[in-house]
């Protein structure tokens, strides 16, 4: 089980982006979320964490 960086829940299935993990549920949500949706902004913010992590490592 790995902790998803979006929902912060331990999940079994998902994808790896650099050193971070995104669960399948969140990945699907992100794909269908409209860019005008406030939720999309939240996803982008969470994704920034990945980038920052990548720079550090």
- Work out how close the CB of 6 gets to Zn ion at its nearest, in angstroms, rounded to a whole number: 4
Does the protein bind Zn ion through residue 5 (CB under 5 A)?
no
Residue found by looking up tokens 């949706």 in the block: 37
Query: Residue 48: which of 3, 14, 6 has the closest Cα?
Result: 6
Instruction: Please identify which residue in 20, 21, 26, 46 interacts with Zn ion, judged by CB under 5 A.
Output: 26
Among 4, 20, 21, 46, indicate the residue that binds Zn ion (CB under 5 A): 4
CA distance 4 to 48: 14
Which residues in this chain contact Zn ion in the complex, by CB under 5 A?
Answer: 4, 6-7, 23, 26
């Amino acid at each position: 089980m790995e902790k998803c960086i979006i929902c912060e829940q331990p999940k079994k299935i998902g994808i790896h982006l650099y050193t971070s993990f995104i669960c399948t549920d969140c990945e699907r949500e992100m794909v269908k979320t409209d860019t005008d949706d406030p939720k999309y902004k939240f996803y982008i913010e969470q994704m920034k964490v990945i980038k920052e992590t990548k720079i550090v490592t």
